[in-house]
Structure 1
């Protein structure tokens, strides 16, 4: 994908997020780039890489980013931590932005902006790698990056929920992703993502994002038109549809049921 096309795709995603338009994301948890290439055929606005709950390495993430770009899709990794040692290599590898897990305070947001944005917005250092076309696109990249890249915060604890207004007060924040599993754990009802306390916490985030003009997202494990419609009805403006892990797990469960049925026959 040429630099100009990559820039257009980044800008298109950011514009949709900024305008609270409907956005559809994919999610990969396995390192094989063939899975990413297959998912990219589905017409997603972006594909996220889960590096928090998987063993995907930086080298494998670079291959996934490259596969996304080869198919003309933007790529937003979710690194395992807020550490610049993880985030910087992903940016240099050509990531189009970041989804940052477990953000709870305004101070954390400020540090994340410093890591992900060039001066004057942040303090990202200048270098040359794949993101810059190995030098061929350096000037354009460093000029365009701040206004084209996307920064998405995951709010997935009650502390983050309580601080949501301060988290979304930063102009550099393009969207929020609600993490119901971790919210349920922080509320003492782990795994009960439909518990009234969890739904109320999510509602607070959705309403705060609406007030601030920020996009807000949830992930749908079992993708059906009814589930997507319900998410939008709750006020979410974009959704992440399943994941490769969920797809394979659901297939394995269905296949196991068939196998067991014939074993008992």
Structure 2
């Protein structure tokens, strides 16, 4: 019998491949209360933040186990290209991975190889999570979904060729680092017309290869804009940022002008 987690992962992948809009949040804490709250809200997915957070490999694996019991599909953003670290996230039950700073075809091919068993790839067989133990390699590969991050000028130059690689399932746009690589302000990258042009180009590239386009957003208005620009998979924020925004709104309602002044130009505010 198919368990809840596997079925929701299959349904989630089917939505992505059908280019349906899905919405989620980044999670930077393994706290079970946070995970329970996020799942109860009704998001389509979560992204576990393994790059820009203090979560260790052990934290990520434990969080995937916690989310298994709720069935919420969880993608992991890993912190590099190390192949066995990538494979370990799938061994622990990830519904997908996001790999940062992908700039060349060779890098993308190596990432795909880390997620596939021989003869196609180099992944070693050894599922960690209890519900995956006993699955055959082909069944485990069905759970794989690979996003590569295009977030540098070189990555943009090679985006067409990277998107055409068999096994790359989606492109996840990193606007801040893309701006830095061009010598631009990373905070302005979320508000300028450049983002719209980049999204339009990448949507053309992803549509041509029948893969998914995703991006991080900061707040529902920002997320709606990315949707208009052609993104199918959008995050609405980091869970701590959502908590901070709700806390500030509540306090401002009760004590106007009492919260710290924040930079209005920053999408992180």
Q: Partners of 2:205 and 2:102 in 1: how far apart?
A: 15
- Inter-partner Cα distance in structure 2 for 1:3 and 1:56: 30
Using structure 2 for the length normalisation, give the TM-score: 0.85
Instruction: Give the CA deviation at 1:110.
Output: 0.7
Give the number of aligned pairs. 256
Change (3 A) 1:3 1:55: farther
1:213 alignment counterpart: 210
Alignment of 1:70-109 (within 5 A): 70-109=69-108
Give the whole-Å Cα distance in 2 for the aligned partners of 1:262 and 1:192: 27
Using the TM superposition, give the Cα deviation of residue 132 of structure 1 relative to its aligned residue in structure 2, in angstroms: 5.7
Native 8 Å contact 1:187 1:197 kept in 2: no
Deviation at 1:53, TM superposition (A): 0.8
- Point out where structure 2 has 5 or more consecutive residues left out of the alignment: 260-269
Asked if 1:192 is matched to 2:191, the reply is no
Structure 1 segments (4+ residues) deviating >6 Å? none
Cα deviations by residue, 1:151-178 (Å, 9 ceiling, x for unpaired):
1111111111111111110231221111
1:112 aligns with 2:111: yes
**SS of residue in 1 equivalent to 2:235:** strand
Q: How does 1:1-265 map to 2 (within 5 A)?
A: 4-130=3-129, 133=132, 135=133, 137-139=134-136, 142-190=137-185, 191-193=187-189, 194-224=191-221, 227-254=222-249, 257=252, 261=257
Secondary structure of 2:97 counterpart: strand
Q: Distance in 2 between matches of 1:3 and 1:251?
A: 38
Distance 1:219 1:109 in 2: 20
Secondary structure of the 2:167 match is coil
1:210: how far off? 1.9
Indicate conservation of the 8 Å contact 2:5/2:68, yes or no.
Answer: yes
Is the 1:121–1:146 Cα contact (8 Å) retained in structure 2? Answer: no
How far apart are 1:255 and its partner, in Å? 5.9
Could you tell me whether the CA contact under 8 Å between 1:184 and 1:198 is conserved in 2? no
Higher helix share: 1
Note if contact 1:26-1:48 (Cα within 8 Å) is conserved in structure 2.
yes
Cα 1:188/1:202, change in 2 over 3 Å: farther
TM-score scaled by structure 1?
Answer: 0.87
| C-alpha contact (below 8 Å) 2:5/2:70 kept by paired residues | no
Question: Given that residues 65 and 129 in structure 2 are in contact (C-alpha distance below 8 angstroms), is that contact kept between their aligned partners in structure 1?
Answer: no
Which structure ranks higher in relative contact order (CA pairs < 8 Å, sequence separation ≥ 6)?
A: 1
